[in-house]
């Protein structure tokens, strides 16, 4: 019995030693992975800073060349000096205002995913219709950019007045106007959009082009955005490819939300939004916005 007891004790000691070695090995691997992740982050930051600074050097070079050309070509001196000043000024701004922090698209998408899940649960729990209508509220000074996303309780609904939709639960005397109204995710993007373009178009074709260009060039949220406008029907359909924020047919997704908010602000009319997957292999999603006759 004593031999068996000693053998059992030895096995337990060996197992404990083996477990301790495994834990130490895992800890060492985790430390190595953490160090490697930090190194990759630093490399990414350096690469982005290098890219910006190369751009700054290129602008500075163009500025210097324009200045030298102004000396050689006195007939074009005014224009060339203007190019030189612009190039050098842009170079200084690009060099010293290089971003130090970057948020990857995957992190932004995961942040939005929580909002999408909350919205979907809200619609299901309250038994709402699932129809998404972006309403003008008239107050463009707030964080919602003067637009609220209204989800009516009934499919056969009427639209509430803008001031009635300024609260989360819309409970008017008219039952057909009841539902939920939330600030749209596209409101913040639209505020940035206003700063970028200055004058916002009011005619539907030009406005749709502006919004599509902003998605691709301004915010880089998609790889492609092609608008198709039917002014007579008051309908805008934007074909989306390569969404940086995943599937755009979720609750108040930033990409279609921005388009809807922009159309509301540009036309001052309610917009019903529908986002669907596309049957065309060249297009991922179709974002369809239909303008209401009500103002």
Domain layout of the chain by residue ranges:
2-96, 115-295
Hey, which residues does 290 pair with through a beta bridge?
235, 272
Section 177-181 average pLDDT: 93
Give pLDDT tens digits for 220-236: 899 999 999 999 999 99
Mean pLDDT of the chain: 80
Would you state the pLDDT for residue 25? 72
* Position 91 pLDDT exceeds 70: no
For residue 131, report the phi and psi dihedrals to the nearest 5 degrees: -75, 135
What is the reported pLDDT for 145?
A: 84
Q: What is the 3-state secondary structure (H, E, C) of the chain?
A: CHHHHHHHHHHHHHHHHHHHHHHHHHHHHHHHHHHHHHHHHHHHHHHHHHHHHHHHHHHHHHHHHHHHHHHHCHHHHHHHHHHHHHHHHHHHHHHHCCCCCCCCHHHHHHHHHHHHHHHHHHHHHHCCCCCEEEEECCCCCCCCCCEEEEEECCCCCCCCCCCHHHCCEECCCCHHHCEEEECCCHHHHHHHHHHHHCCCCCCHHHHHHHHHHHHHHHCCCEEEEEEEEECCCCEEEEEEEEECCCCCCCCCCHHHHHHHHHHHHHHCCCEEEEEEECCCCCCCEEEEEEECCCC
- pTM, two decimals, is 0.65
Residue appearing with tokens 């309403």: 135
The half-sphere exposure of 47 on its side-chain side, counting CA atoms within 13 A, is 7
Q: Which two tokens stand for residue 28?
A: 């060492």
Q: Which residue has the higher pLDDT, 173 or 102?
A: 173
């Amino acid at each position: 019995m004593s031999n068996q007891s000693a053998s059992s004790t030895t096995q337990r000691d060996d197992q404990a030693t083996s477990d301790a070695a495994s834990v130490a090995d895992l800890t060492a691997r985790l430390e190595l992975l953490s160090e490697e992740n930090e190194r990759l982050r630093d490399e990414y930051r350096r690469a982005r800073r290098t890219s910006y600074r190369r751009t700054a050097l290129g602008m500075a070079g163009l500025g210097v060349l324009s200045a030298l050309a102004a000396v050689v070509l006195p007939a074009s001196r005014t224009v060339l000096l203007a190019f030189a000043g612009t190039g050098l000024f842009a170079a200084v701004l690009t060099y010293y205002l290089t971003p130090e922090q970057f948020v990857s698209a995957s992190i932004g998408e995961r942040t939005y995913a929580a909002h999408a899940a909350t919205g979907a649960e809200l619609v299901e729990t309250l038994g709402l219709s699932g129809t998404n209508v972006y309403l003008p509220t008239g107050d463009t000074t707030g964080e919602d950019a003067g637009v609220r996303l209204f989800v009516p309780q009934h499919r056969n609904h009427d639209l509430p007045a803008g001031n009635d939709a300024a609260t989360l639960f819309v409970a008017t005397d008219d039952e057909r106007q009841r539902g939920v109204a939330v600030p749209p995710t596209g409101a913040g993007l639209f505020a940035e959009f206003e700063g970028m373009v200055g004058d916002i178009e009011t005619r539907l074709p030009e406005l749709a082009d502006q919004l599509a260009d902003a998605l691709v060039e301004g915010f880089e949220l998609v790889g492609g955005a092609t608008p198709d406008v039917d002014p007579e029907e008051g309908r805008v359909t934007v074909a989306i490819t390569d969404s940086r924020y995943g599937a755009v047919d979720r609750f108040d997704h930033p990409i279609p939300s921005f388009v809807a908010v922009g159309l509301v602000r540009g036309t001052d009319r309610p917009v019903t939004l529908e986002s669907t997957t596309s049957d065309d292999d060249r297009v991922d999603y179709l974002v369809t916005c239909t303008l209401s006759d009500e103002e």
